[in-house]
Structure 1
Amino acid sequence: MVTALAGAAICYAPAFAEPGEAGIWYDDTGKGAVKIEICTPTTLCGKIYWLKEPLTAKGEPKTDRYNPEPSMRTRPICGLPVLGDLEQLSDGGFDNGWVYDPKEGKSYSVALDLVDADTLKVTGYKGMRFLGKSFIWKRAPTDLPPCTQDAASTPGQNNANVTATKAASPAKSGKTANNKAKPKKAATPQHPVASN
C-alpha cells in the first residue's frame, strides 16, 4: 500500500519545482496583473488576474473585443489566458511560449527571465528573440483581489478558456495551437495586459 501511494505521488509530481516566475505580476503599465502558474508538468501559463479598471465607460465588463475570431470577442478580459506553453530553459528562464495581447488581438512568442525575486522581464517577439521588445513586470502582493472568481481558479478549472484562446490566435512564432503554421506578419509586441 505504501509503495503504491509513493508511486502515485511520483506520477503526479510536477516536472519542476514551482519557479520564481510563478505568482501574480503587475504588468509594465501597472493597470493589470497576470497570475503565472504551472499548467502542465513542464510548462507555465498565465491569465489576467486583476485590472485597475475592469469596466468600460458604459459600466460593462471589458471583453476581448479585438480578437481576430469574431465569436471570441465577447469573452471577458478578467480571467483571460494571456500566456501559455512556456518551457523552462536549462540555463534559466522560460521561452518557447505564446503571449496574447487583448488590446491588439495579436499573439507573439514570449520569454520570461526573472531579474530578481520581485522583477520579471517579459520579452515578446516574432521570429528571433533578440529582435523582440522587453517589458518589466513587478511582483504584486499575494492578497491582491482577483477581478473575477475565474481569474483565481486553478489551471485545470479554466482549460476551456485556454483551449479557446490558443485556437483563436497564433500562439508561437512558427506555431499555432492547431496547425503549427507560421504567423502571417511580424509586429512590435505591446504590453499584453493593458485593457481595451
Structure 2
Amino acid sequence: MQLFELTRALVDIESVTGNESGCAGFLRDYLAERKLEVELVPVADAGAGGRANVFAVCGTPDVVLSTHLDTVPPFFPAREDSDFIYGRGACDAKGIIASEVVAAERLLGEGARDFGLLFLVGEETLSDGARAANAAPRGSKYIINGEPTDNKLAIGTKGILRLDVRTRGKMAHSAYPQLGESAIEKLLDVLAEVRRLPLP
C-alpha cells in the first residue's frame, strides 16, 4: 500500500484506547508480510482484552521508530478531499504509523538491516503500553517517537510525575477543634510549596 492508502486503512480500524487489538493485528500481519520479525508484546494489565504492543525488527535495531495505536473517542472512519485525510487518528497517530511503516519499507528496499518499529497501546490515557515497553526493553541506541509537532523536530517531550502525598493529623471533636491537628491544613501547606516550585 502507498502512504495515503495505508493511512486510510489504519484510520478505518477503530482503536479507541482499550480496543487496540484490531489495529495491532493488522500491523502484525502487514509487517510480517514484508519479512520483518514481528512480536505482539502483551501489556501486563491488559485484562481479558489481550492488548499488546507491536514490536517489529529487521536485524538488530540501532534506531526504533515509534508511536501509538490508540485514539481518543469517538471513532469515525476516514474520508478525504483534495488536501487532507480526515478521521479519528489521521494525525494522532495513524498517519504517523503509516509514515513510519512506509519508511521501513524503503529502508528494507535499500538493504538496511538495523531498525525497528514499536507501536504502543494506551498512550491516550495511562501510557500502559509505554510502561510495558520500558519494563521489558528490546534494545536500540535511538528511538524516534512520532507525535504531531507542527512538523518541527522536538528533542524532548513532556513527562509526568505522579506523587502520593500523605499528611497526618490528630482527630478531635468538632466542638473542640483546638485539641486536634488538621491533616488537611498540612496538605494545603504542601500543595502551596509544590505550586511555588520552578518548573521548566
Query: Structure 1-normalised TM-score?
Result: 0.30
Query: Structure 2-normalised TM-score?
Result: 0.29
* Bigger fraction of residues in helix: 2
